[in-house]
Amino acid sequence: MTQIKVDCQHACRNTCAMLNEALRKEASMVRFYEGILAECTFPEVRTFLTDLVEEKRKSILSIIQKLNELHVHSQSIDGIISSFNFNV
């Protein structure tokens, strides 16, 4: 299996490029599993695939939550910085 290298940019502002990439890949996996699920007729495999889809959806929600937390944190820092008057 080939491994795609994703480099952290270390310059995130209000978001995280790595988490956005993880979100994109998780969403892609959900679509992949749902496509397989649509074709599958074997009950045991359908149950397994349904569980995989649910796990991925939970991961997606967790990533979105963290991205939202990072955004709020950045806004708070921006507010604190802007409250200082640097014109002396």
Could you give the CA distance from residue 47 to residue 15 in angstroms, rounded to a whole number? 35
User: Mean of the pLDDT values across residues 25-35?
Assistant: 96
Residue 58 lies in a domain: yes
Residue 52 lies in a domain: yes
Residue 82 lies in a domain: no
**Residue-range definition of the domain harbouring residue 67:** 22-75
Query: 29 pLDDT band (50/70/90 cuts)?
Result: very high
User: What pLDDT, on the 0 to 100 scale, is given for residue 42?
Assistant: 95
Residue 26 lies in a domain: yes
Residue 9, pLDDT above cutoff 90: no
User: What pLDDT, on the 0 to 100 scale, is given for residue 40?
Assistant: 93
Residue 88 lies in a domain: no
Residue 2 lies in a domain: no
Question: For 37-83, how does the pLDDT look when each residue is reduced to its tens digit (9 = 90+)?
Answer: 999 999 999 999 999 999 999 999 999 999 999 888 877 776 777 77
Three-state SS annotation for the chain: CCCCCCCCCCCCCCCCHHHHHHHHHHHHHHHHHHHHHHHCCCHHHHHHHHHHHHHHHHHHHHHHHHHHHHHHHHHHHHHHHHHCCCCC
